[in-house]
Amino acid sequence: MVTFQFIPFQEIENLGSAKRVNKLLNIVKENKIVLMEGRLKKQEEADLIEITMEEISPKFKGIELSVVYPNKSKQDFGQKVKGTFANLLLGDRQGMTIIGPASVVKRIEQNPNKIELFTKEAKTPPAKRYRKKK
């Protein structure tokens, strides 16, 4: 089972960069997948990776990050970097950010209208076998 936690933009809107990043990372460290409305600033994405690296341990193996940009096709990837006029007006509220713990999410793939989360196969305990009575 995987758990998603939704973060509306207003929950991070008025936080400073450090608080934003820590808030998100703390959720991920509880083994939950963050579904955040909107996007982080570019520098905050870098900060998120930096702080993730500081926290890596044999238990916490990092994150998988994916940013969904508003009405952009995969081919229009360049615009994602540049930012459009609409983005200037609406700020970082548009789009969506997905952050999952690396131990749960192997890979996130984005196709224009489809987001695929490749999760690690949950390690279920081996099925109980009936033991023969001695």
Partner 1 sequence: MGFFKDLLSKLKFNPFARKSHVKLGLYGPPNGGKSTLANRICQDWLGEEMSTVSHIAHETREIKIKEQVNIKNKKGKELTFSLVDTPGIATRIDYEDFLKRGMKKKQAKERAKEATKGVIDSIKWLDEMECVVVVLDSTQDPYSQVNITIIGNLQARNIPVLIVANKVDLKKSNIDVIKAAFPQYEVVGVSAKYGKNVEDFYEMLFKVAK
Burial label for 88, CB within 10 Å (0-12, 13-18, 19+), is exposed
87 binds partner 1 (CB under 8 A): no
Whole-number Å distance between alpha carbons of 64 and 44: 15
List the one residue from 62, 72, 84, 96 that touches partner 1 (CB under 8 A).
62
| In the complex, least distance from residue 67 CB atom to partner 1, rounded to whole angstroms | 6
- Where does this chain touch partner 1 (CB under 8 A) — which range of 13-21, 29-37, 67-75, 85-93? 67-75
Whole-number Å distance between alpha carbons of 17 and 1: 31
Whole-number Å distance between alpha carbons of 59 and 78: 36
Whole-number Å distance between alpha carbons of 67 and 80: 9
Residue closer to partner 1 by CB (options 30, 130) is 30
6 binds partner 1 (CB under 8 A): no
- Where does this chain touch partner 1 (CB under 8 A) — which range of 19-27, 65-73, 84-92, 121-129? 65-73
- Where does this chain touch partner 1 (CB under 8 A) — which range of 14-22, 30-38, 63-71, 88-96? 63-71
Residue closer to partner 1 by CB (options 10, 120) is 120
CB 36 within 8 A of CB 97: yes
Tally Cβ neighbours within 10 Å of residue 22. 15
Footprint on this chain of partner 1 (rule: CB under 8 A): 42-43, 45-46, 49-50, 52-54, 56, 58, 61-67, 74-75, 77-78, 80-82, 102, 108, 110
